[in-house]
């Protein structure tokens, strides 16, 4: 195989034009989660494996001086670990922004209707406002890190208004919550008890309804679940 | 002395799974199925008894607000004053969704006092003043100008 330059791979596989930042444009790293990252392995990944583009939005109330969610890179790396090991698919983070807004009040609590799998037919005004954020950044899937919704026991939801795919994750959630919600969106994978192809008691599975209680981490995904991810229209290949 | 946990109906496996779920999609199954035994079990969890897990109580309050049976409103009202502020937001949201007289007024004989999202907001934020209502604008308490408009629950305490 001919040796291609980083710039060529960034342009032809990831759509990035010079100047190219290795950290952001090639690795898709936008936060802090110290670990060794191999450029060779990343370029190989970009050239050979399908990927999904994701943008990250940290939502803060007006007046907040806090920046991006502190665990966003940990969550992204955890999701990449599971998707790459189990399904041979990787997650390319194209951007990360902080949205400071009064749309969700001073406490940033989202007014959430139900949480069906996939399209939310009846979004509240606040859901509608949330899923408007972070659009036009090169990803059709956006993850929102927020303070939570009315029920503090619920830490994530993957119901989105039609045409604006995305999901939210509550600050302080389990490191697997991001991957869990993303896997709801990509492939519309349900929880095991709603999935005829996955045993109800598969607590090792990423789609276990309580991601923080998953046993034997890192979590598993079965072939049928990976198949649904691979079939998603949002996946790209170099 | 028996605790609330001793007296509560047994939780089905499906309901227990839903109550343990921290992915919001996990509680949807309960609302889809709407089993009468689940309704009874959920109501038994709306208590500040220390033997009941707070996360179970919160999800019970959340689910009862989305279960079209207005009889749950009195239970939520009764427990609401003893919840912390974060849980009270959940309770007020559920009462707002039930939206019946019990949710709004409760049983106070001839001395009914509205308990709307607005009233609850004021309870959480003592001394908070409602902003003036514009002509024709309908407040969350159902009132129409020219009185005060309920501030949104999630707004800061003035």
The pLDDT value recorded for residue A4 is 80
The pLDDT value recorded for residue B130 is 40
First to last CA, chain B: 44
Q: At what angle do helices B13-20 and B54-65 cross, to 10 degrees?
A: 100
A157 touches chain B (CB under 8 A): yes
For range B4-25, the mean pLDDT: 85
A119 touches chain B (CB under 8 A): no
> What distance in Å separates the CA atoms of residue A167 and residue A192, rounded to the nearest whole number?
19
The C-alpha of A26 sits at a distance from chain B's nearest C-alpha, in angstroms, of 31
More confident residue, B58 or B137: B58
**In chain B, which residues touch A (CB < 8 A)?**
14, 17-18, 20-29, 31, 54-56, 58-59, 61-62, 66, 86-87, 89-90, 93-94, 152-156
Burial A194-218, CB ≥16 within 10 A → b, else e: bbeebeeebbebbbbbbbeebeeee
Beta-bridge mates of residue A95: A55
Instruction: Give me chain A's average pLDDT, please.
Output: 96
Question: What confidence tens digit (pLDDT) does each residue in B16-72 have?
Answer: 999 999 999 999 989 999 999 999 999 999 998 899 999 999 999 999 999 988 889
pTM above 0.95, yes or no: no
Torsion (CA) A119, A123, A125, A130 in degrees, nearest 10: -30
Are B23 and A212 in contact (CB < 8 Å)? no
The pLDDT value recorded for residue A137 is 96
> What distance in Å separates the CA atoms of residue A50 and residue A47, rounded to the nearest whole number?
8
The pLDDT value recorded for residue B96 is 87
Which among B20, B93, B154 has the least Cβ separation from residue A106? Answer: B154
> What distance in Å separates the CA atoms of residue B61 and residue A20, rounded to the nearest whole number?
50
The pLDDT value recorded for residue B146 is 35
First to last CA, chain A: 15
For range B129-136, the mean pLDDT: 42
Instruction: Give me chain B's average pLDDT, please.
Output: 72
Cβ neighbours of A147 in B, within 8 Å: none
The C-alpha of A34 sits at a distance from chain B's nearest C-alpha, in angstroms, of 28
The pLDDT value recorded for residue B129 is 40
Torsion (CA) A170, B158, B141, B103 in degrees, nearest 10: 60
Residue B42 DSSP code? H
> What distance in Å separates the CA atoms of residue B139 and residue B118, rounded to the nearest whole number?
8
The pLDDT value recorded for residue B68 is 86
> What distance in Å separates the CA atoms of residue A207 and residue B87, rounded to the nearest whole number?
27
Task: Determine which of B19, B20, B24, B27 to mutate to test the interface with A (most A C-beta atoms within 10 Å).
Answer: B24
Task: Quickly list H helices, A70-214.
Answer: 72-87, 125-130, 177-185
The pLDDT value recorded for residue B1 is 53
More confident residue, A221 or B157: A221
Q: How many CA atoms lie within 13 A of A73 on its CB side?
A: 14
In this predicted structure, the answer to whether residue A122 has a pLDDT above a threshold of 70 is yes
Task: List, in sequence order, every beta strand (DSSP E) within A33-86.
Answer: 51-61
| Helix/strand number for chain B, H first, E second | 9, 2
In this predicted structure, the answer to whether residue A77 has a pLDDT above a threshold of 60 is yes
In this predicted structure, the answer to whether residue A2 has a pLDDT above a threshold of 80 is no
For range A102-128, the mean pLDDT: 93
Interchain CB contacts (distance < 8 Å): A and B: 106
């Amino acid at each position: 195989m001919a040796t291609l330059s980083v710039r060529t791979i960034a342009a032809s596989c990831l759509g990035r034009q010079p100047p190219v930042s290795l950290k952001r444009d090639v690795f898709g790293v936008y936060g802090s989660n110290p670990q060794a990252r191999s450029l060779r392995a990343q370029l190989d990944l970009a050239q050979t494996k399908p990927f999904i583009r994701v943008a990250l939005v940290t939502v803060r109330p007006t007046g907040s001086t806090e920046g991006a969610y502190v665990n966003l890179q940990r969550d992204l790396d955890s999701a990449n670990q599971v998707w790459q090991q189990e399904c041979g698919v990787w997650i390319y983070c194209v951007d990360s922004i902080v949205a400071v807004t009064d749309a969700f009040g001073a406490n940033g609590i989202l007014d959430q209707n139900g949480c069906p799998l996939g399209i939310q037919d009846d979004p509240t005004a606040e859901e509608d406002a949330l899923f408007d954020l972070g659009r036009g950044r090169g990803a059709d899937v956006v993850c929102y890190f927020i303070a939570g919704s009315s029920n503090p026991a619920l830490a994530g939801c993957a119901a989105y208004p039609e045409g604006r795919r995305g999901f939210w994750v509550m600050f302080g959630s389990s490191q697997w919550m991001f991957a869990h919600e993303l896997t709801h969106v990509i492939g519309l994978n349900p929880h095991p008890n709603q999935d005829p192809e996955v045993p109800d008691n598969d607590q090792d599975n990423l789609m276990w309804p309580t991601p923080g209680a998953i046993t034997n981490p890192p979590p598993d995904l079965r072939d049928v679940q990976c198949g649904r991810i691979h079939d998603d229209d949002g996946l790209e290949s170099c | 002395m028996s605790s609330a946990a001793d007296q509560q109906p047994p939780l089905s496996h499906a309901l227990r799974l839903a109550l343990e779920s921290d992915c919001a999609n996990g509680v949807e199954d309960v609302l889809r199925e709407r089993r009468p035994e689940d309704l009874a079990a959920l109501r038994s969890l709306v208590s500040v008894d220390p033997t009941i897990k707070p996360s179970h109580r919160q999800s019970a309050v959340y689910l009862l607000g989305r279960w079209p049976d207005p009889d749950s409103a009195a239970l939520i009202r009764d427990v609401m004053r003893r919840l912390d502020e974060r849980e009270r937001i959940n309770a007020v949201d559920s009462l707002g969704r039930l939206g019946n007289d019990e949710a709004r007024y409760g049983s106070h004989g001839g001395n009914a006092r509205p308990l709307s999202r607005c009233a609850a907001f004021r309870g959480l934020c003592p001394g908070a003043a409602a902003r003036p209502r514009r002509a024709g604008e309908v407040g969350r308490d159902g009132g129409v100008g020219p009185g005060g408009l309920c501030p949104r629950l999630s707004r800061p305490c003035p």
